Structure formats: C-alpha cells, structure tokens
Chains A and B, each alone.
Chain A
C-alpha cells in the first residue's frame, strides 16, 4: 500500500518538476527576446510572449503530410528532452538516477537532437538536410572541448557520477573556483550547444529558412518549441550542475523540505545567470560559417580545455589535492 502511495507521489513530483522546467524554459525564451530587444534599442515583446506563441501553435492544426516518421519526430524530440531533464539534478532534486551517469548523460543528451534530425530528414526538404548536416558538424565541434572538460572534472573529483560530484561540491567549494579554466572552456562549448549566435548555424533563418524546422508548422512546431524550451533548461543546468554545485546551498539531509525550496531558487538564479551570459553574447554577434565554427572549436576552446585538464591532473594526481 505504502509502496503504491510512494510511487504515485514520485510520479506526481516528477510531472510537476518537468512541467516547471518547461515553463522556466518558455519564460527564459521570453526574457531573452526582451533583453535582446532592449540591446537593439527596441521595446520588445512582453516576457510571456512565448507562452502565447506555444498556445497559438498548439491550438493550430497541422495538415502537412510526409510520412509517419515526420509525425513521430516532434514527440520523439520532446520525450528525449524530458528524459534528459529527469536525469539532470534541478536544484538538487533528481528524478531518475544511476551510477556512472556522467557518461550516460552524454548519450541521453544526444537523443532529443536525434529526434529532431529524424523529422527534418523525413521531410525531404533540402534546407532541412543542410540544417541537419550543420547541426551534426556543430555537435562534433563542441563535443571535443566539452569532453575534455568532463574528463578534467572526473579526474579532479575522482568520480564519474553526477550525484557524487554534486555532493563533493556541496561539502567544499564549487568547481568553478578550483577549475576556472575548464569552466571557461565549458561555457564556450555551451554557446554552441545552445545554438546561440555566433553558433546558430544549423537554424540560420536568413540563410536556410530555419533549417531542420523548415517543414514543421502548426502543432508540430508547438511541440518543437516546447522541446527547445526544455533543452534550454537542460543545457544551462548542465553547466550549473557541473561547475556551480547545482545550486545546492543547503544540505537536504539536514534542512529537509526547506533545503529543497532554497536550492530550487538558487538553481533558478544560477541558470538565469548562465542563460543571460549566452544571450548577451547572442545579441551582439554575427554568425560563423560552419567550417569557421569547427576550426574555432577545435582550436581555442580545445586548447583552454586541455590547459584545464592539465591543471586538474597536476592538482589531483601530482599535488594530491583531494576532495
């Protein structure tokens, strides 16, 4: 009996957290539009604009027919992003867990993008094909520094588990204080992961008519908008979890429910800061070409990440600093 009650409570909490995460993502998109507009010296839309957009899109009907993979792809992408959200600790609360999950997470993060690519490919539009090619190349470019950064974290904290990583950061200082070089490389990689300028090459509305999105309209596009809202939260909170201690300031084991509330608020503030950095860069930069982005990523951020890796290695293996 109690088992069932527990499962139900957990399911409810999971749904609530995922729903909140999507709402946070939509709100962030609205804030980003407002901030960008202010930087351009415009008034800009209200910050709830993206809720209206999603509502409108979901209330529309889509009569675009290609094949069932095309119909299935938005669901696939949305489900993938929800899965990634469930695996990432948000404000210290995580829904699914497992050991060695940093590596698992890397695989899960690819699923939503894959669903996206699937639908784009099925639409048989040349613009979509070009967009998918660019997205995959971009992924290849930023994964290089990002993997090096993950490696340096694993070496320094001597763990491949996200839970342990968070715990160790909670008990000592945040990783950004001890590994600032790696954090810099991770933030540059994050810009590409979020496809903000100068790396919005796959979407590029003025060049390839929004790339993978080109054939989607109506409620399909609405679902993809929810997907991109979710992936904003996934990507920003990935950075927060890795380098800013996941926003955990109070130990849930000691403070109980209060800790969850405070941690959630701190987490929210931190992902907001990370998102704003990305948006400020986005608002003032033009766009790279894809081969320029590739060259850039395999040069500077990789170099910085390698330096960070060396620092982590020297600190933990040679000097024997342990946390």
Chain B
C-alpha cells in the first residue's frame, strides 16, 4: 500500500495509523459504479431508494469509474462485457473494491455451458465479495455492503493489491479469452 497512497505527514502520523485512517475513511464513503450486466440491475433501485436506502452508510452511485471506489458486477459476464469491466476496473483509483452479484460470476450459474460467458470472474479481476443467489435480494446486498465495510476496516479487502501483485497472471487470463483488445 505504501508506494501508492503515501502518508502526507510521515513525521506526525505514524505509518500504521495512516493506513488505519485511510481504511476508516474509505469504508465510510464507498462510492460505487454499478456495472449492470445481467439480471441484477433490477435489485439496485430498491437498494438505493427509500426502502433500503444505502446512502445511510455513505454509499452513493457515481457517474464515472474515475470517481468510484466500488465496482458492482451484477450478473453474468459475457466475454464482450468482460472487456468493458476490465477497462472500468482499471480506470478506478486505488483503493478500489469489487462486489460480484449472483451465482453467474461465481461459477457460471445457469450459463455454465454458454459459449460466450465466462465462468469465474475472479480469474480476470480480483473480487472482494461475492453475493450468492439468483438473484440476491436487497437485504443480501445490504448485508454484503456491511461485510465489505468490516473487511475494509480489518484490511482484508485487498483485491486491488492482489491485482497489482499478480498483474501479469490476471492479464494472461484476460488475454486467453479476448482475441483482440480493440473490438
């Protein structure tokens, strides 16, 4: 974490406290960009609006990946969509987190033998939290948000560090499914 988000006042704030502060701040203001691929887009409006109101926890939808910290992939991922997801993920600023919805990004779900979807999202971008179910209800989504906040606080949500560490391997996996990068 050190080279990316350096401590602004190393002489005043100890390195350990700085990381703690950063984690505390980023868990309380997760701005998300929801990449609505599959059926899961339908579950987002009730989560955002007055019934479940995720703004209570400081989670608000953002318009662009540049401004977001949290990427939601809501459903099955076609190969063509995966390319966009990787682009969106790489445009986000560190630290960043990913939540994958439903059984499709876990193991392919009902699309397990489809010719054009990928089965495990985790092979292509690091996923911090999965929500199982087809489709998870807003309660499950809220639960996942709370769990993710806890994970961030304890420093266990480190997908973005993994992506940096194993960048070559993730890229190799991505190259295996994309024939070309520009289509």
Contact = CB atoms under 8 A, between A and B. Distances in A.
A63 B95 CA distance: 12
Given A61-B5, A217-B93, A44 B21 contact: no
B67 A210 contact: yes
A60 B94 contact: yes
A59 B5 contact: yes
A216 B67 contact: yes
A56 B30 CA distance: 9
Among B57, B62, B66, which residue has the most Cβ atoms of chain A within 10 A?
A: B66
A231 B125 CA distance: 39
Contacts of A44: 53, 55-56
Interface string A74-93: 00000000000000000000
Interface stretch (A3-11, A33-41, A302-310): A33-41
B116 interface: no
Contact of A214 (B29, B57, B64, B94): B64
B22 interface: yes
A215 B66 contact: yes
Contacts of A49: 28-29, 58
A64 B93 CA distance: 8
A60 B29 contact: no
A52 B55 CA distance: 13
Nearest to A125: B64
B56 A43 contact: yes
Contacts of A52: 25, 28-29, 58
Nearest to A60: B93
A63 B5 CA distance: 11
Interface in B63-95: 63-64, 66-67, 69, 92-95
A12 interface: no
Contacts of B26: 56, 59-60
Contact of B5 (A60, A206, A209): A60
Please indicate which of the listed interface residues A33, A40, A56, A63 has the most CB atoms of chain B within 10 Å of its own CB. Answer: A56
B49 interface: yes
B93 A63 contact: yes
A247 to B, nearest CB: 32
Contacts of A61: 4-6, 93-94
Contacts of B50: 40-42
Contacts, number: 87
A42 B69 CA distance: 23
A218 interface: yes
Nearest to B4: A61
Contacts of A180: none
A266 B161 CA distance: 50
Interface string A162-183: 0000000000000000000000
A135 interface: no
A6 to B, nearest CB: 30
A216 B29 CA distance: 17
Interface of B: 4-6, 21-22, 25-26, 28-29, 31, 49-50, 53, 55-58, 62-64, 66-67, 69, 92-95
28 contacts: A37-B55, A40-B50, A42-B53, A42-B55, A43-B55, A43-B56, A44-B55, A49-B29, A52-B58, A53-B29, A53-B31, A56-B26, A60-B69, A60-B94, A60-B95, A61-B6, A62-B93, A64-B93, A206-B63, A209-B63, A210-B63, A210-B64, A210-B67, A213-B63, A214-B63, A214-B66, A217-B64, A217-B93
8 nearest CB pairs, A to B = A217-B66, A56-B25, A209-B63, A205-B63, A218-B93, A42-B53, A210-B63, A53-B29
Given A42-B53, A49-B28, 17 more contacts: A33-B55, A40-B50, A42-B50, A43-B55, A43-B56, A45-B56, A49-B29, A52-B29, A56-B29, A60-B69, A60-B93, A60-B95, A64-B66, A209-B63, A210-B67, A214-B64, A217-B64
